[in-house]
């Protein structure tokens, strides 16, 4: 793994500088080096997309940023706070929608969102008030009294997002937030996130859907094999092409289909 080299650690006033700063961030699982010394800045107030093929290291990176997985090397800062030397201060600033994290799914949707607020130190009245607003905004009113274990995948995604939003974090880190979400709900979520960024918040999301990232994100980083291949404003990274075309060029691999001639043969 590389050391902390290319970018300096954030210094001075924590109200200046990037929303998220990664310096030499690395993680190994046995013989597999999943993240290879990543250096990356996420500007404040940006809608930042993290894209890469399966196994690229996106989820591992986001887990280290949000305090869910300890890095083997390097540092992660959120608004100037070191996630691993000052985790309480850093985590107060973050809302997280992780991929596949087990929920307290024997609570109702409304109870789960309220509980998330209570865990963040909010008063019960405030947590309940915000939970009720989020239920309505995300179209969960009819399901708010049902146990989360009985929710569909899309509904579970929405209630998890609500739990990430309830304490009004300054930075949102979302792993595949639109996966399994129907088009109407996806449009609602995009509007909520756009308003959040417009008010000064920062969103970091991972996604496999290049068209979505190209449409909604202001900045993007392409990750493959645990390394950042390109990062910056979407227009600059696209370099005059579609983001999908640029992604394929950067990541490599063939899109040619070999064989399957039998699929192109009439069956009658």
- The yes-or-no verdict on residue 130 having pLDDT over 50 is yes
pLDDT beyond 70 at 8? no
Q: Summarize the confidence of residues 253-266 as an average pLDDT.
A: 75
Q: What is the pLDDT of residues 224-257, one digit of tens each?
A: 999 999 999 999 999 999 999 999 999 886 667 7
Give the pLDDT confidence of 172-209 residue by residue, as tens digits: 999 989 888 889 889 999 999 999 999 999 999 998 88
How buried is residue 16: exposed, middle or buried, by Cβ count under 10 Å (0-12/13-18/19+)? Answer: exposed
Q: Mean pLDDT across the stretch 113-124?
A: 96
Q: What is the pLDDT of residue 209?
A: 87
- Which residues touch 107 (CB under 8 Å, ≥6 apart)? 115, 147, 148
pLDDT at residue number 181: 87
Calculate mean pLDDT across residues 75-89. 95
Q: Is the pTM here over 0.85, yes or no?
A: yes
Cβ atoms 173, 97 nearer than 8 A: yes
pLDDT digits (tens, 9 = 90+) for 98-114: 877 788 989 999 999 99
Tell me what the pLDDT averaged over the chain comes to. 90
pLDDT confidence of 5, banded at 50, 70, 90? very low
The answer to whether residue 75 scores a pLDDT higher than 50 is: yes
């Amino acid at each position: 793994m590389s050391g902390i080299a290319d970018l300096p650690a954030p210094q001075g006033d924590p109200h200046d500088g990037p929303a998220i700063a990664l310096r030499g961030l690395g993680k190994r699982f046995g013989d597999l080096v999943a993240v290879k010394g990543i250096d990356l800045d996420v500007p404040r107030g940006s809608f930042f997309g993290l894209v890469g093929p399966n196994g690229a290291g996106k989820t591992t990176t986001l887990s280290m940023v949000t305090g869910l997985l300890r890095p083997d090397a390097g540092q992660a800062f959120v608004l100037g706070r070191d996630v691993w030397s000052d985790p309480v201060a850093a985590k107060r600033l973050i809302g997280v929608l992780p991929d596949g994290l087990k929920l307290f799914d024997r609570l109702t949707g409304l109870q789960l969102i309220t509980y998330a607020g209570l865990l963040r130190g909010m008063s019960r009245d405030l947590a309940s008030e915000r939970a009720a607003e989020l239920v309505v905004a995300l179209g969960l009113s009819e399901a708010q009294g049902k146990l989360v274990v009985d929710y569909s995948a899309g509904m579970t995604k929405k209630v998890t997002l609500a739990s990430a939003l309830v304490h009004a974090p300054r930075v949102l880190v979302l792993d595949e937030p639109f996966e399994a979400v129907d088009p109407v709900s996806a449009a609602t979520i995009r509007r909520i996130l756009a308003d959040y960024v417009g008010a000064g918040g920062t969103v970091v999301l991972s996604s496999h859907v290049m068209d979505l990232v190209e449409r909604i994100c202001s900045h993007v980083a392409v990750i493959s094999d645990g390394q950042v291949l390109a990062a910056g404003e979407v227009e600059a990274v696209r370099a005059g092409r579609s983001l999908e075309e640029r992604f394929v060029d950067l990541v490599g691999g063939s899109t040619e289909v070999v064989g399957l001639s039998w699929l192109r043969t009439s069956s009658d």
